[in-house]
Amino acid sequence: MSANADPLFWKNARQHLIRYGGRFEDMIIERAQGAFVYDADGRAILDFTSGQMSSLLGHGHPEVAAVIAERARNLDHLFSGMLSRPVVDLATRLAEVTPAGLDRAMLLSTGGEANEAAIKMAKLYTGKYEVVSFSQSWHGMTGGAASATYSAGRKGYGPAAVGSFAIPAPYPYRPRFEVAGVFDWQAELDYAFDLIDRQSSGNLAAFIAEPILSSGGLIDLPLGYLRALKNKCVERGMLLILDEAQTGLGRTGTLFAFERDGVVPDILTLSKTLGAGLPLSAVLTSAEIEEACHERGFLFYTTHVSDPLPAAVGLKVLEIVQRDDLTQRARTAGHRLESGLRNLQEEFDCIGDVRGRGLFLGMEIVKDRASKKAAPELGAAITEACMKLGLSMNIVQLPGMGGVFRIAPPLTVSDDEIDLGLRLLRQAIANCA
């Protein structure tokens, strides 16, 4: 009998776990190393999602493991009113690697927590309460962050926070606004904010956005869009919050995705990649905003704010990304992966679109490219076939689009591992299409 079928394990899982969405894979993961996770039978599974889009340096990086061990022995957790060197050092380092205007940081645990804090800061600073985000956004599961999340989880929980608004995400593959057959995202954005202005009570506080919408279908904001969005915010006295949970620290080929557009947000949130798989997030903002919020009594005590252990990990992650030039590696490896996906697109008519930047790519599965009709059963079948072949892939299924694979291997992935993933993906599609 397969060790993955351990009856006591699954009995306990069924009886004692709260299910939090989707289904669990029919396997027990025992360990992970580099770009692979290993099940109870010792089978290697190539991890093309970096865990939960987080293990930026792969699993079990020896330098990160050494930092964890040292901190666990000597200084892992403190009362929230105490400070340690790793916390101050990481805040300082983040200020050094981000543009001017992102000078102060608060260190937390998760992306949802960071976005919650960012939204509270924006409301306190502006004295307003309305928050706008994209119709396919995902910013977290806590109250304010969930109210700004529109891709899932809105039904059955009662009203969202008062003043929660959404605008369409710019989606070049399925454009809503066209001029002479060309996507006119500026017209779409203008119309969207015209509707926001009509609905607003005059209390627009912030717009929160991912530079590349991940759970929303790996939608990359077109070049120029982010600047136009910042201008809309400035015109209305709103703050622009950018959520770089998945795009931060080199994954897109620049240290931060917003750098491509030359736009600096008023508040930046980091998570997932900052801890490279450990629970660490950060909120960055200007000295002016932080000073004003402090004077007005900004309060965001949490159990693990300013914890030294994850802060030390974040310092090490930043060091490795810059020392090993992993932003360049993301560009080079991303080009190899994207070229391979486009070759598959030429071979299989069910691959409607390939998009993204660096090692953060999306592949949309459709019935056929001519119709662009969604094919959820096919997407699910390909996902299952990939896992059987030893390739972990993640697909999001949303109304109005085909199933989109979010492909984000570690920045340390080798060329051979990329080629292996492409071969396994090709075999899975051929088995299902």
245's tokens? 């949970």
Q: Which residue, 97, 56, 105, is CA-closest to 268?
A: 105
Q: Who contacts 151 (Cβ-Cβ below 8 Å, separation ≥6)?
A: 136, 137, 138, 213, 215, 216, 396, 398
Identify whether the C-beta of residue 134 lies closer than 8 Å to the C-beta of residue 167: yes
378's tokens? 């096919």
243 is catalytic: yes
Catalytic residue among 123, 138, 230, 417: 138
Q: Who contacts 130 (Cβ-Cβ below 8 Å, separation ≥6)?
A: 163, 164, 165, 200, 201, 203, 204, 205
Catalytic residue among 71, 272, 316, 331: 272
11 is catalytic: no
Catalytic residue among 243, 261, 266, 364: 243
155 is catalytic: no
Q: Which residue, 238, 259, 247, 229, is CA-closest to 168?
A: 229
Scan for tokens 């896992």, then name that residue. 387
Catalytic residue among 71, 331, 357, 406: 406
Residue type, 422: L
246 is catalytic: yes
Scan for tokens 């096919």, then name that residue. 378
How many CA atoms lie less than 13 Å away from 429 in the CB half-sphere?
A: 24
Catalytic residue among 103, 113, 116, 210: 210
CB atoms within 10 A of CB 9: 13
259 is catalytic: no
Q: What 3-state DSSP class applies to 405?
A: strand
Question: What is the H or E stretch that residue 33 is in?
Answer: strand 29-33
Left, alpha or beta for 27 (phi > 0: left; psi -120 to 50: alpha)? beta
Catalytic residue among 246, 251, 290, 331: 246
103 is catalytic: no
Cα Rg of the chain, angstroms: 22
CB atoms within 10 A of CB 342: 13
**Would you name the residues annotated as active-site residues?**
138, 210, 243, 246, 272, 406
